Chains A and B, each alone.
Chain A
Amino acid sequence: MGFLNPYMFALITLIGLFVLFYFFRKQYEKKVIPSNMIWIQVMKEREASRFFQKWQNHLLFWLQLLSLLFLMFALMRPYLTVEREKGEEFIFIVDTSATMLANHGSKTVFDRHKEEMLSILDQLHEQEVTIITAGSNPEIQLWKESDRKKIKDAIEGLSVTYEHENIAQALRLARAMLANEKGAIHLFSDGVKWEEVTKIINDRYVVVHNSQEDVINVSLRSFVVGSMFDKVKGIAVLKNDSDVKREATFSVKGEKGILFQKTVVLSPDSEMLIPIDSLPKQSFYYGIVDVEDEYVPDNFSTALFHQNTQPVYVHGNISPFFVRGLESIGVDVYHLDDQQTAPHEKGIVATDLSSIEDDYGIGYFLFESTTENLEPVLGSIKQVDDPLLNYVDMRNVHISKSRSSSPFNELESIVSVGDRPLIQKGMLDGIPTVAFLFPIEQTDWPMHPNFPIFLYNSYEWLVQQSKPMEYFQPGEKKWLNFESELVEVFSIDGKNLYTVQTNREAFQAPFEPGIYQAISGHQIYYFSVLIDEQEKKVSSEKSFTLNDSLLDGTTGEKQQVGTNSLWFPLALFALLILFVEWEVFRRNA
C-alpha cells in the first residue's frame, strides 16, 4: 500500500483545529443566584427584539444553504474559458547575438523580445516551454518546463552573448525536439527570412518575431594596427549602413588616453577608410566610433599590436604582384633560394603547389605556378561569406585559367567557378593554408584595389590561426596549451573574471567584446574579444508566421481552453462555511 498524495496528510492539522475548537468551546460557568427572573427577561428581550438576533437564528440555515451551494458548484467541476497561446508545447528560440542590442526607441530588440516572451507566457496554461538560445552553438536553457515562475526566471535571466547567431542549427534542434505536431516554435531574432525557416521546418507552426524596423547603423568595420619600418600604423574602415548622412568621430585610445582622433562625414550607404599614419607603440588599441546610431556594439573594436609580425618566406616561383602586395601592407618578405638554409625564425611560407616540404612554416600561401593542365575559367565567379573575403568582391575579377581540380580535399573553397574551386582555405596537416588554384599571372586581380585587402585578410588569418591567444569570438572555446595549467582571466581594468584549468576544460573567451588579459604562470597574454564580422551588420525583417493552419484551425491566434482547478477554492469555501456554521451552532447551543 502507498499514498499517492502523502503531503495531503498535512491536512491532519485540521483535526488539531477541531480539537482546539473543542477546547475553546463556550463553557458556561454555573452560578446559583437568588432569582434569574430578570435575566430570563433580559435574554428573551435580546433574542426577540433585535433584527440581528432574528437573523442569527436563521444564520445556521443560510450557512448550510451556502455551504451546500458551494459544494454543489465544486462538484460540478466548473471551468473558466481563458485565452491561451496557440500550441500544446512551446519552443522559444532566442537569438542572443550582438545585433539584438540594436535599439528601437528606448528598448533594445532583445528587451522587446523578452517582453514578448513574457506576454506569451502570461497566456500559457499548463503548456510546456523549452528555451533554446541560438548562439554559435544552440544551447537549451530550459527543458519542457511548465512552472510559470521558473519559465519567467529563465526568460528574465537571458542575456546577449554577442556570438553570431546560428539560427539554422537552433531550428534544426527545435525541429528534432518538437515531436508534437501541435507544438509551436517561437523564434526571436532580427532579420530571419522566410526561406531560412522553411528550408529547415515546414511541418510545424512557427512564429518568427523579427525586429520589424530598419536600424540606423554606423559600424567600425575593421580596425587594425601594424608596424612598418619601425612605425606603428593603423587602418580603420567605417561603414554607414543606413540611408541617412551621419557625422562620426573616430578615435583610437591606447593604454592611456586618446592617441588619434578624426571626425568624418559618412554619406548614406558608404564606406570610408581612415589611415592612421603613426601611433605610439602600445600593446593594445581601442578603436571607437562616436556616432549617433541605433546599434552600439559595433562602434568599437580592439586591436592588439603584433610586436613580432610574422615574416613571409617566399619560396620558388612566386608572382611579384603577390610580393608587392604583401610589402604594401607592411609584411616583411624574404626570398628563399633552393640552396639557402632554413631561416632562424618560423614564419609564413608562400610557395607553389609543388613544393611544400619544410619545417619552419606556420602557415602557407600556396600558388599554382605552372600553366599546364589549366582550364579556362568560364561563367561567373562565386564567393562564400568568409572573413577572408571581407571587402573583396571577386565577381569583377577576371581569371583566365585555373586548375581543373584541387589537390587538397581537406581545404574549403571560398571562391569558385561552377564546381571548381579557385581559392581555398583551411588546415593542411594542422597548418593554416590559403591556396590559390590559379597563377596570379592569369588574372587581373592585382590591378583591383581589393587584392591587397584579400592579402591582408589572408595574412591576418594565417597569423591568427598560428597564434591562438589573440583574437576570439565572444564566448569562443578553444583548447590551448599554456605553460601553466591554470589560466586566470582578467578584464583590462584588473578585475578577475574567471579561472580556466586548461588541462581539463577548453579555454572559453568572455562574451563581452573588449581586451582581456590572461595570466598563466609568469606570462601575460593580451587577447581581444571581437564581435563577429557578421554582427556588424544589422539586418531587419518583418515578423511572420508559418503553418498557421496546423494548429486546430481555429480562427484568430488564440484558443479557448478550460481550466478545471476552480473546484478547489469552491470546496475550500464550503469547508470554511462549515467551520463558521459550527461556531454559530456552538454559540447558539
Chain B
Amino acid sequence: MSYNWFHHLAKRKLVVKTKRKGFHKGMRVSSAFGYSFDFSDYRQYELGDDPRRIDWNVYARTEKLYIKRFLDEQEISVVVYLDSTTSMTLDEKKWEFAKLLAAAFGFIALNNEDRFTFLPVGEHWNTPPLERKGSSFSKNIVDHICELPKEKENSTDFSKNMEKRFIPMRDLTIIITDAWEPIDQIATLFQRIAPRVKEVRFLHILGKEEIAPPYERDVQLVDSEQNTTVNVSMSNTVVEKYKNRLHQHIKRLEVLCRRYKIHYLQVVEGENLHKFFLQTCIKHGWLE
C-alpha cells in the first residue's frame, strides 16, 4: 500500500485534551507560559516574578508593573501499541493495513515534533520500544513500521502482553487491535492501565471477511490463535446471526471504552485511509 498521500497528514496534529508540560521543547502549545513568540496576556507583577518579564512600555504609560506573558510551546509523548498477534498477521492485507495506520500516526506525531513511541505487541516481541522525536525521523519511522515482520510463531494474548509491555504516563496512548479476545480480558487490561494513562484511543481494526463472511457450504473454521475448530454449515440465517453477534461484540467494546473514557473508532481493512484520517479522525477529534 502506498503512503504517498502522507504529505496531506503533515499539517495535521494529534489532539490531546490534557495539556501538560513536557520535558522538551516542542511545537505544541503548553498550558505553562513559556518563551514562544505567541502573546498570551498581561498580569500584575507579583513578588518572585522574573523582573525581566516586566513590560516596561506599559509601566511607562501606567506606572504600574505588568508582566507580559507568552505561551510556551511543548511536545507531547505519543505511544502506539500495534496488536501483532496471529489474528492480526494472518491476513496479509489486514496486517499491512494495520501497519500503515500505525505508521500514519507516527508520521503525524513526528511531524509535530512530538515524542513518538511504537510498540508491536505479541507474545514473542521482546525488542525495546522504538522511540523517536523530531520530524526528521518521520520518513524513517514510516519505513520502519511498514517493514515490521510477522512473528514467526503463533502469537496470542494481546491484552496480557500489552499489559506486560505497557509504558505508563504517556500523553496519548493509541491501541490498534482487532480485539479478538473475550471482552473480559480487554476489560481487565483497561482496568489495569487506567490509573497510569492520560488519554487512550482505541482503534478497532476488522478484516473484510470478518465483517461479511464469504464462506460457502460446510466449512470448518479454525481459530488462528487458539486452534479451536467449529463446523458451520453456511446459510443466510447463520451469516445473519454472525453479523448480529459481531454487532453485539462491537457494541460491548464501545461501552467498555466509554466507561474508561477511551475513544473508540472502528476501521475496516481496505477503507480509504486518506478519508479516514482527514475526515473521520478530524470529525471525532483525534486530529486537527
Give chain A's interface residues, CB within 8 Å of chain B: 26-43, 45-46
Complex-state Cα separation, A30 to B229, whole angstroms: 9
Whether the Cβ atoms of A35 and B180 lie closer than 8 Å is: yes
Whether the Cβ atoms of B87 and A35 lie closer than 8 Å is: yes
Complex-state Cα separation, A31 to B213, whole angstroms: 12
Partner of A26, one of B87, B209, B218, B241: B218
Name B91's closest neighbour in chain A (CB-CB): A34
Whether the Cβ atoms of B222 and A32 lie closer than 8 Å is: yes
Complex-state Cα separation, A42 to B87, whole angstroms: 19
Name A45's closest neighbour in chain B (CB-CB): B241
Q: SS class of chain B's interface: helix, strand, loop or mixed?
A: mixed
Task: Give the residues in chain A near B242, CB-CB below 8 Å.
Answer: 38-39, 42
Complex-state Cα separation, A51 to B182, whole angstroms: 28
A38 and B245 contact, Cβ closer than 8 Å, known pairs A31-B215, A32-B90, A46-B238: yes
Task: Give the residues in chain B near A35, CB-CB below 8 Å.
Answer: 87, 178, 180, 210, 223-226
Name B241's closest neighbour in chain A (CB-CB): A42
Shortest C-beta distance, A1 to chain B (Å), equals: 46
Task: Give the residues in chain B near A43, CB-CB below 8 Å.
Answer: 230-232
In chain B between 75 and 101, which residues have their CB closer than 8 angstroms to a CB of chain A? 86-88, 90-91, 94
Task: Give the residues in chain B near A31, CB-CB below 8 Å.
Answer: 215, 219-222
Whether the Cβ atoms of B87 and A34 lie closer than 8 Å is: yes
Task: Give the residues in chain A near B223, CB-CB below 8 Å.
Answer: 32-33, 35-37
Can you report 18 residue pairs joining A to B where beta carbons are below 8 Å apart? A29-B217, A31-B220, A32-B90, A32-B222, A32-B223, A32-B224, A34-B94, A34-B178, A34-B224, A34-B225, A35-B87, A35-B178, A35-B223, A35-B226, A39-B221, A39-B232, A40-B228, A46-B241
Name B94's closest neighbour in chain A (CB-CB): A34
Complex-state Cα separation, A31 to B249, whole angstroms: 22
Whether the Cβ atoms of A28 and B220 lie closer than 8 Å is: yes
Whether the Cβ atoms of B218 and A27 lie closer than 8 Å is: yes
Task: Give the residues in chain A near B229, CB-CB below 8 Å.
Answer: 36
Quick one: CB contact mask for B10-47 with A, threshold 8 Å, 1 for yes? 00000000000000000000000000000000000000
Name B229's closest neighbour in chain A (CB-CB): A36
Partner of B180, one of A29, A30, A32, A37: A37
Give chain B's interface residues, CB within 8 Å of chain A: 86-88, 90-91, 94, 178, 180-182, 207, 209-210, 215, 217-226, 228-233, 238, 241-242, 245-246, 249
Complex-state Cα separation, A27 to B245, whole angstroms: 26
Complex-state Cα separation, A35 to B228, whole angstroms: 9
Task: Give the residues in chain B near A46, CB-CB below 8 Å.
Answer: 238, 241
Whether the Cβ atoms of A30 and B222 lie closer than 8 Å is: yes
Partner of A28, one of B207, B218, B245, B246: B218
Task: Give the residues in chain A near B91, CB-CB below 8 Å.
Answer: 34
Whether the Cβ atoms of B222 and A36 lie closer than 8 Å is: yes
Complex-state Cα separation, A27 to B233, whole angstroms: 10
With A31-B221, A32-B224 given, name 11 new contacts (CB 8 A).
A26-B233, A28-B220, A29-B217, A30-B219, A31-B215, A33-B209, A35-B180, A40-B228, A42-B241, A43-B232, A46-B238
Name A587's closest neighbour in chain B (CB-CB): B233
Name B222's closest neighbour in chain A (CB-CB): A32
Whether the Cβ atoms of B219 and A29 lie closer than 8 Å is: yes
Shortest C-beta distance, A297 to chain B (Å), equals: 75
Whether the Cβ atoms of A33 and B245 lie closer than 8 Å is: no
Task: Give the residues in chain A near B180, CB-CB below 8 Å.
Answer: 34-35, 37
Whether the Cβ atoms of A38 and B88 lie closer than 8 Å is: no
Whether the Cβ atoms of A33 and B222 lie closer than 8 Å is: yes
- Most chain-B Cβ atoms within 10 A of its Cβ — which of A26, A31, A34? A34
Complex-state Cα separation, A29 to B180, whole angstroms: 23
Complex-state Cα separation, A29 to B215, whole angstroms: 10
- Most chain-B Cβ atoms within 10 A of its Cβ — which of A26, A29, A30, A36? A36
Complex-state Cα separation, A32 to B207, whole angstroms: 13
Shortest C-beta distance, A163 to chain B (Å), equals: 75
Shortest C-beta distance, B126 to chain A (Å), equals: 24
Complex-state Cα separation, A126 to B46, whole angstroms: 129
Task: Give the residues in chain B near A41, CB-CB below 8 Å.
Answer: 245
Task: Give the residues in chain A near B209, CB-CB below 8 Å.
Answer: 33
- Most chain-A Cβ atoms within 10 A of its Cβ — which of B226, B228, B232, B233? B232
Name A49's closest neighbour in chain B (CB-CB): B241
Task: Give the residues in chain A near B238, CB-CB below 8 Å.
Answer: 42, 46
Partner of B245, one of A26, A30, A34, A42: A42
Name B207's closest neighbour in chain A (CB-CB): A34
Name A33's closest neighbour in chain B (CB-CB): B221
Complex-state Cα separation, A39 to B219, whole angstroms: 11
Shortest C-beta distance, B237 to chain A (Å), equals: 9
Task: Give the residues in chain B near A34, CB-CB below 8 Å.
Answer: 86-88, 90-91, 94, 178, 180, 207, 210, 224-225
Complex-state Cα separation, A27 to B219, whole angstroms: 8
Task: Give the residues in chain A near B207, CB-CB below 8 Å.
Answer: 34
Task: Give the residues in chain A near B86, CB-CB below 8 Å.
Answer: 34
Task: Give the residues in chain A near B222, CB-CB below 8 Å.
Answer: 30-33, 36
Task: Give the residues in chain B near A38, CB-CB below 8 Å.
Answer: 242, 245-246, 249
Whether the Cβ atoms of A36 and B218 lie closer than 8 Å is: no
Task: Give the residues in chain A near B87, CB-CB below 8 Å.
Answer: 34-35
Complex-state Cα separation, A38 to B86, whole angstroms: 17
Name A26's closest neighbour in chain B (CB-CB): B218
Whether the Cβ atoms of A39 and B230 lie closer than 8 Å is: yes
Shortest C-beta distance, A14 to chain B (Å), equals: 26
Complex-state Cα separation, A37 to B181, whole angstroms: 8
Complex-state Cα separation, A27 to B220, whole angstroms: 9
Shortest C-beta distance, B243 to chain A (Å), equals: 9
